[in-house]
Amino acid sequence: MAGEPLVVCTDVARTYGKGPAAVVAVHGANCVIAPGARIAVVGPSGSGKSTLLHLLAGLDRPTAGQVDHPGLARGPMARQIGVVFQGPSLLPPLTAAENVSLPLCIDGVAEDEATARAWSALEDLELASLASNLPDELSAGQAQRVAVARVLARRPRLILADEPTGQLDRDSARHVMAVLTAASDALGAAVLVTTHDARVARALRIQWYMADGRLVQPERAPREGETR
């Protein structure tokens, strides 16, 4: 298990609807996510990035082909795969800190430790001063960064982030990407980020492209000293 790919996609397709109204959002995708890999999936709106990310996360089932997670331990995938969703995902009645600590408590982490990990993740994202705010007291960009903190606090082995910089200005986007790559270093986690912004994609070593549901992975020779 250790060292095995976290995700293997084989001829994966996802079609929404049936008959003449059917939309093929992902066509025959083949890809592998190795432990510790850092991948950007770049493509325009509607190209199938979110659909692919949900399939990789096991949140959606392909209509053809197969998605396997050979490198994950048996047990709940949610503890090993952290997903940053594209839209609003914070629980409205809970503060930012409570939104980050709740999944840890559900995982069985003691309340004191869950609170400490939540604060630490919020500090990493420069959100400590907003920890007591409710989601409707946050800007869209701040809420998006709380959602990133919530995933990082859980220390997953695979982080799948759907346009995590979509609501952010350039400096905040750069900061979030730096935090994600630092977390990947610290946790040894693989990171896959979808984005329509080529500048955001350049923060990650591997770039895959989506166009009209087709996943393209350009070949590139590794630079000296690169292992993944």
Ligand X SMILES: Nc1ncnc2c1ncn2[C@@H]1O[C@H](COP(=O)(O)OP(=O)(O)OP(=O)(O)O)[C@@H](O)[C@H]1O
- Which lies closer to ligand X via its Cβ, residue 63 or residue 120? 63
Question: How far, CA to CA in Å, does 66 sit from each of 55, 63, 105, 138, 164?
Answer: 9, 9, 32, 39, 26
Q: State the minimum distance, in angstroms, from the CB of residue 44 to ligand X.
A: 7
Question: In this structure, what DSSP letter does residue 82 have?
Answer: E
Q: Any residues with CB less than 8 A from the CB of 63 and at least 6 apart, and which?
A: 13, 14, 15
Q: State the minimum distance, in angstroms, from the CB of residue 18 to ligand X.
A: 11
- Which lies closer to ligand X via its Cβ, residue 46 or residue 188? 46
- Which lies closer to ligand X via its Cβ, residue 17 or residue 93? 17
Q: State the minimum distance, in angstroms, from the CB of residue 50 to ligand X.
A: 3
Asked if residues 134 and 92 have their Cβ atoms less than 8 Å apart, the reply is yes
The DSSP element (H or E) to which 58 belongs, if any, is none
- Which lies closer to ligand X via its Cβ, residue 25 or residue 122? 25
Asked if residues 164 and 176 have their Cβ atoms less than 8 Å apart, the reply is yes
- Which lies closer to ligand X via its Cβ, residue 131 or residue 210? 210
Q: State the minimum distance, in angstroms, from the CB of residue 63 to ligand X.
A: 12
The DSSP element (H or E) to which 193 belongs, if any, is strand 190-195
Q: State the minimum distance, in angstroms, from the CB of residue 144 to ligand X.
A: 14
**Residues at the contact surface with ligand X, assessed by CB under 6 A:** 16-17, 23, 25, 43, 45-51, 86, 196
